[in-house]
């Protein structure tokens, strides 16, 4: 866990853990409902939720399965997630500090592995997908939700720079073809793919990661000056008065291990 980005991740999320438990974007919405729907967890399953953050995905899965393991790199995040799940009466959940790229589990011990809105923090996404595929049983499912980048490399760079200005622990968000390549490389056959827009108000989105007023001004300026392919992707709404808003495109990718 020595990569610089992993130190940054723990600093960022360690400082802002409470904000992620409270975040409406993470607490629900289409992506969480759809993840549960497409996974269709069964009562006898053991499920691993990687980069559990405030524990919202683990909380959605726990009542449906026999055991949920919630893992995260950031210790204060796990403490916050444990309190969040306890307050909501979720039982049968184990909390484990781990690196999603190097899992402390033997092969084929889970029926499903989930990872929602986190992989853009991982420096080694192929390693993470390989590890998820290793610990899932044959016939088991790996389901990832994350930010999506446009296929155009210049637009992808702009979107990733915008994200990193808000959160220095953002490493990279990949495009559809790249994600499908990661799954294929890990021996996961895609059973479902979809992309969808999520809508964000700039100020609460930026403040959740501790941005100050000058940083928010720079983010707004990037939205104002976004080149046309980026503007088509991020759909900025820039009223003369009041907060700006924009779209982060996300995907849900589900794959089955042979």
| Residues of this chain that bind ligand SAM (CB under 6 A) | 6, 9, 13, 20, 26, 50-54, 56-57, 72-74, 77, 99-101, 116-118, 121-122
Q: What angle do helix axes 75-87 and 4-15 make, rounded to 10 degrees?
A: 40
**CB of residue 219 vs ligand SAM: minimum separation in angstroms?**
18
Alpha-carbon 97 to chain mean position? 17
Shortest distance in whole angstroms from residue 77 CB to ligand SAM:
4
Minimal distance, residue 231 CB to ligand SAM, in Å: 25
| Nearer to ligand SAM (CB atom), residue 82 or residue 226 | 82
Virtual CA dihedral for 182, 185, 189, 193, nearest 10 degrees? 10
Q: For the chain, what is the radius of gyration of the CA atoms? A: 18
- Closer CB to ligand SAM, 55 or 226, in the complex: 55
> Which residue's CB is nearer to ligand SAM, number 123 or number 181?
123
Q: How far apart are CA 123 and CA 102, in angstroms?
A: 12
CB of 2 to ligand SAM, least distance (A): 12
> Is 110:137 a contact under the CB 8 Å cutoff?
yes
CA nearest to 28, candidates 62, 56, 64, 52: 56
Q: Which is nearer to ligand SAM, 82 or 116 (CB)?
A: 116
CB atoms within 10 A of CB 172: 20
> Quick one: which H or E segment has residue 56?
helix 56-61
Residue 89 CB, shortest distance to ligand SAM, in Å, is 18
- Tell me whether residue 117 or residue 230 sits nearer to ligand SAM (CB atom): 117
């Amino acid at each position: 866990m020595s990569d610089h980005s992993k130190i940054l991740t723990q600093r960022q999320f360690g400082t802002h853990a409470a904000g992620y438990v409270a975040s409406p974007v993470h607490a629900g919405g289409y992506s969480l409902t759809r993840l549960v729907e497409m996974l269709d967890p069964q009562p006898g399953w053991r499920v691993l939720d990687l980069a559990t953050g405030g524990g919202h995905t683990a909380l959605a899965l726990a009542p449906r399965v026999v055991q949920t393991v919630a893992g995260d790199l950031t210790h204060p995040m796990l403490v916050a997630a444990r309190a969040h799940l306890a307050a909501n009466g979720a039982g049968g959940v184990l909390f484990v500090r781990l690196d999603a790229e190097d899992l402390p589990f033997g092969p084929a011990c889970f029926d499903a592995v989930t990872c929602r809105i986190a992989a853009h923090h991982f420096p080694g996404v192929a390693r993470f997908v390989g590890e998820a595929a290793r610990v899932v049983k044959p016939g088991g499912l790996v389901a990832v939700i994350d930010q999506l980048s446009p296929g155009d490399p210049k637009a992808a760079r702009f979107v990733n720079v915008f994200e990193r200005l808000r959160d220095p622990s953002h490493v990279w968000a990949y495009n559809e073809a790249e994600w499908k390549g990661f799954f294929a490389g890990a021996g996961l056959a895609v059973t479902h793919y979809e992309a969808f827009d999520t809508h964000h108000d700039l100020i609460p989105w930026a403040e959740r990661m501790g941005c100050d007023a000058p940083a928010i001004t720079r983010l707004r300026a990037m939205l104002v000056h976004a080149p046309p392919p980026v503007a088509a992707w991020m759909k900025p709404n820039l009223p003369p008065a009041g907060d700006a808003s924009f779209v982060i495109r996300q995907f849900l990718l589900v794959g089955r291990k042979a």
